[in-house]
Amino acid sequence: MKLSLAIAKEAGENAPIVLRGSYTENIVIASKMGYDAVEIHVNDPKTLDIEKIQKTCKENNIVVSTIGTGMGYTIDGLSFTDSDSNIRQKAVERILEHIKVAKVLDAMVIIGSMRGKVPNVEEYEKYEGYSIYCFKTVMEHAENHGVIVTVEAINRYETNFINNVNQGLEFIEKVGSGNLKLHIDTFHMNIEEKDLKESIKMAGTTLGHVHFADSNRWYPGAGHLDFASILGALKDIKYDGYIAFECLPFPTQTEAAKKSIENIKYLIAP
């Protein structure tokens, strides 16, 4: 299992992005702390200086694991379930831009908040249909570019659409693309799953990406989640992908980044 760290140029005070500031400076910092990868969160991927990021990664023996796209929703309000077809189209176009960048960086693309919410549960199937249609469109491009896309199960207080592993697996089945993988996040799982180990087992080979944060969204070790047991379940299913730390930058961003890797590396290889 490889360890990655969520970074962004800027993020809200309570957004779970660990390092904020210059992408390249934070890539160097993450590498020095021992991370294998960074997870780049960005609203408009066209604003990224890809060549500089690639050069910095190469020089520092680190890679980009994933591109986080949620700012497309939180900043620009783009989602796959919007009632307005123009917004859905813009959301698709934004993800296609992420896929292009991901191909160059050999990274995966995360679809979390941009899959949207269901504004009227009585019309659940209609909104789910909008999302499936958007996913099918982006997956066709992802397949052509050889890019893996992950759909993240997110807790009920942030969305009412795809909250747990079971719903995620059912949704992936409906989209029907081998390049679409399930993405779990321990913070959300703590709210939604009855038994984290059983849910990880259920995800099995469909699991494509993992976010680690403790029960309070701080770095692992700052809350009450049992990361030894979670890592055991990931080992049991032979998960060999990335674990990206998506935690609040508390008490400071540097300390959150250091404690995340320290506390989990110790559990992987005590």
Task: Work out whether strand 37-41 and strand 63-68 pair parallel, antiparallel, or are unpaired.
Answer: parallel
Q: How many CB atoms lie under 10 A from the CB of residue 140?
A: 12
Using CB under 6 A, pick the residue from 82, 128, 152, 214 that binds ligand LER. 152
**HSE-CB for 122 with a 13 A CA cutoff:** 0
Q: Is 246 a catalytic residue?
A: yes
Provide the minimum distance between the beta carbon of 55 and Mn ion in the complex, in angstroms, as a whole number: 28
Q: Is 59 a catalytic residue?
A: no
Rg (CA), the chain: 17
Catalytic one of 152, 192, 193, 255: 152
Please state the φ and ψ torsions of residue 2, each to the nearest 5 degrees: -110, 145
246 binds ligand LER (CB under 6 A): yes
Using CB under 6 A, pick the residue from 11, 107, 148, 154 that binds ligand LER. 154
Choose the contact partner of 158 out of ligand LER, Mn ion, none; CB within 5 to 8 A by kind.
Answer: ligand LER
Q: Binding mask 194-233 vs Mn ion (x if CB under 5 A, - otherwise)?
A: -----------------x----------------------
Q: Which is nearer to ligand LER, 19 or 56 (CB)?
A: 19
Contact present, 53 and 24 (Cβ < 8 Å): yes
185 binds ligand LER (CB under 6 A): yes
97 binds Mn ion (CB under 5 A): no
Binding site for Mn ion (CB under 5 A): 185, 211, 246
Residue numbers at the binding site for ligand LER (CB under 6 A): 16, 70, 112-113, 152, 154, 158, 185, 211, 246
